[in-house]
């Protein structure tokens, strides 16, 4: 995810804690004209590949399948049972995600006119040490009760294990170049993100 020297478009990493509203922020940035990509979506696409599905079933068993495809909730529950299992899955997925992001970024750089930013949603941006590959980083934060309610309502499994793996949202906000709150209205979030895009392109 390193920046090419001729980059015209600010390359931005978007992150935040579970339930903070990263996807909402990413959608708002897209509405503001930014090119956007979710690594979560890329992972979803990769898990649909027969080759990766077979490797995952060999490692975790057929119980991670539902109707012949990988059940992400079941896979998360198994992968977060141990550091070894999680690291195996990350080793399978992350290099392939990086390749997809690199191809996408090349496509964005060729756009004419260029978008105001190329934004990639990366949940474990800082935990994975990827921040140096971006021109700017944004952390989305929200009140803890709101985050918990969002995560639970969306059926996230292994929430405690996932949260324990991540930096606190305060740590993410401190390490990011910019932080935005997602406690208010969608309009307020979009206005704040619009200001950030203007700052990046100043």
CATH number at residue 45: 3.40.50.300
Domain range enclosing 27: 11-200
- pLDDT, residue 164, reads 55
Q: Is 139 contained in some domain? A: yes
Q: Is 191 contained in some domain? A: yes
SS3 141: strand
**Mean pLDDT (the chain, rounded):** 88
**How far is the C-alpha of 129 from the C-alpha of 108, rounded, in Å?**
23
Q: Is 4 contained in some domain? A: no
**How far is the C-alpha of 49 from the C-alpha of 187, rounded, in Å?**
37
Residue keyed to tokens 């971006």: 134
Q: What letter does residue 133 receive in the DSSP assignment?
A: G
Q: Is 146 contained in some domain? A: yes
Ranges of H-type helices in 61-109: 72-79, 83-109
Residues of the chain with pLDDT under 70: 1-7, 150-165
Q: Is 96 contained in some domain? A: yes
**199's tokens:** 């700052």
Which residues make Cβ contacts (< 8 Å) with residue 97, sequence separation at least 6? 39, 42, 43, 46
User: What is Dmax (Cα atoms) for the chain?
Assistant: 52
Q: Is 91 contained in some domain? A: yes
SS3 110: coil
Would you give the end-to-end CA distance of the chain in angstroms?
A: 23
- pLDDT, residue 152, reads 63
Q: What pTM was estimated for this model as a whole?
A: 0.86
Rg (CA), the chain: 17
Q: Is 77 contained in some domain? A: yes
Q: Is 1 contained in some domain? A: no
Give yes or no for a contact between 26 and 38, defined as CB atoms under 8 angstroms apart.
Answer: yes
With CA atoms as reference, report the closest residue to 186 among 34, 24, 33, 19.
24
Q: For the chain, what is the domain count?
A: 1
DSSP-assigned letters across all residues of 89-100: HHHHHHHHHHHH
């Amino acid at each position: 995810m390193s920046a090419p020297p001729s980059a015209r478009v600010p390359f931005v990493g978007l992150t935040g804690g579970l339930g903070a509203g990263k996807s909402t922020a990413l959608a708002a940035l897209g509405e503001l004209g930014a090119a956007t990509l979710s690594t979560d979506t890329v992972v979803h696409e990769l898990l649909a590949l027969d080759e990766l599905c077979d490797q995952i079933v060999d490692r975790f068993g057929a119980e991670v399948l539902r109707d012949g495809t990988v059940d992400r909730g079941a896979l998360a529950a198994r992968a977060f049972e141990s550091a070894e299992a999680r690291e195996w899955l990350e080793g399978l997925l992350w290099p392939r995600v990086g390749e997809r992001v690199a191809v996408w970024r090349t496509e964005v750089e060729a756009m004419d006119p260029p978008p105001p930013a190329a934004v990639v949603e990366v949940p474990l941006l800082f935990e994975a040490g990827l921040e140096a590959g971006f021109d700017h980083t944004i952390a989305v934060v929200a009140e803890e009760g709101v985050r918990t309610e969002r995560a639970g309502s969306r059926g996230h499994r292994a929430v405690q294990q996932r949260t324990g793996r991540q930096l606190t949202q305060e740590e993410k906000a401190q390490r990011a170049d910019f932080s935005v709150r997602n406690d208010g209205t969608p309009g307020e979030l979009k206005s704040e993100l619009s200001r950030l895009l203007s700052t990046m392109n100043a």
